[in-house]
Amino acid sequence: MPAVFRLTLAALLLATSLHSHGFDLQAHRGARGLTPENTLPSFAQALGIGVTTLELDIAITKDGVLVITHDRALNPDITRGADGRFIDAPGPLVSSLSFAELGAYDVGRIKPGTAYARQFSDQKALDGTRIPRLADLFALVKKSGNDKVRFAIETKLSPLAPQDTLAPEAFARAVIAAIREAGMVSRTSVLSFDWRTLQVIQRDAPEIPTVYLSIQRGAGENIGADKTEPSPWTAGIRYVDHGSVPRMIKAAGGHTWSAFHMDLTSEKVKEAKTLGLQVLAWTVNEPARMAAVLDMGVDGIVTDRPDLLREEMKRRGMPLPNSTTVSP
């Protein structure tokens, strides 16, 4: 198939997938505000609440298994060893462990007294919960019978710590292969703060939509608006050449912008839509802020509390995704 035709087809498939389900209610790391993050119980709870998309993070083990976990190294705030004690910081890199070795760790409870515990005081502990494989989540959703829910898969790698993970090319290709093997191409998008992986996806698997993550404040800032050189996160695309994040994403060949919600304004959302981009806001957990972001006209919200977002959507008379009951 000629490259131009493949790209045109990819754009058509993307537009169809994004618009067919209306507003995108994304459950961040499952239902993290209620259940341990990025675990099968959290995704099962999100399905039971009823969401459009399950958002998750991918790391790759030493033996090449794609697993669902947010951090490149195990997080001491949520990880206990075989002895039942919370691990010391820094935790081991996921890439340094085999999948069998990873299975010795329990991620079913937050460490008391941490900032994480204060932020998610409503989260229910589920001792004995393990880090799942991506294949396990696909199997859970197939078991549920829900053939509509989508997957938003974030590649967890950093240009500032290249030794921690596979290189962007190999990482992206592993994700592509897993999505294709599961038959989930039509229901999956790939997102990243590290835009290099998104460039690989667009080149090697243009049928899989890409979502460009951004944040313009704090330690995680990835745009570099105040610099003349390109940010290491943006695949060589400079803010100074384009003047806005939506224009950077358009230049990168992207179709969806997922922005930290405090960076968004109605004007920025309008600019992105004028450029033909879909706009998502992450991670919005307070009802008042959900209402404010909805008023900006975004196409979707990523949240740790999908139950609260559904309440706001219901109040506004917005269509709600179907709920599905499944045991993890």
* Count of CA atoms in the C-beta half-sphere (13 A) of 233: 24
CB 38 within 8 A of CB 69: yes
Q: What is the pLDDT of residues 107-127, one digit of tens each?
A: 999 999 999 999 999 999 999
CB 193 within 8 A of CB 160: no
Q: What is the pLDDT of residues 63-80, one digit of tens each?
A: 999 999 999 999 999 999
Q: Residue 181: how many CB atoms within 10 A of its CB?
A: 12
CB 185 within 8 A of CB 208: yes
Kindly report the average pLDDT of the chain as a whole number: 94
Give pLDDT, residue 118. 97
pTM of the predicted model as reported, rounded to 2 decimal places? 0.94
Residue owning tokens 């033909």:
276
pLDDT band at 7 (very low <50, low <70, confident <90, very high): very low
Give pLDDT, residue 21. 55
Q: What is the pLDDT of residues 162-198, one digit of tens each?
A: 999 999 999 999 999 999 999 999 999 999 999 999 9
* 16 pLDDT above the threshold of 50: no
pLDDT band at 294 (very low <50, low <70, confident <90, very high): very high
- Calculate the alpha carbon distances from 289 to 122, 138, 174 in Å: 19, 31, 36
* 25 pLDDT above the threshold of 60: yes
pLDDT band at 18 (very low <50, low <70, confident <90, very high): very low
Q: What tokens were used for 74?
A: 């195990």
Please state the three-class secondary structure of 281-302 as a single string.
EECCCCHHHHHHHHHCCCCEEE
CA distance 291 to 128: 36
Q: Write down the H helix ranges in 213-300.
A: 245-251, 266-274, 287-295
Average pLDDT over residues 141-153: 98
- Calculate the alpha carbon distances from 180 to 105, 175, 273, 277 in Å: 29, 9, 30, 25
* 86 pLDDT above the threshold of 90: yes
* 6 pLDDT above the threshold of 70: no
Which residues does residue 80 pair with via DSSP β-bridges, in sequence order?
A: 86, 106
> Domains, the chain, ranges and CATH?
3-73+131-315 (3.20.20.190)
Contacts of 236 (CB under 8 A, 6+ apart): 230
Q: What is the pLDDT of residues 264-285, one digit of tens each?
A: 999 999 999 999 999 999 999 9
pLDDT band at 19 (very low <50, low <70, confident <90, very high): very low
DSSP category for residue 87: P
Average pLDDT over residues 133-142: 98
CA distance 133 to 80: 18
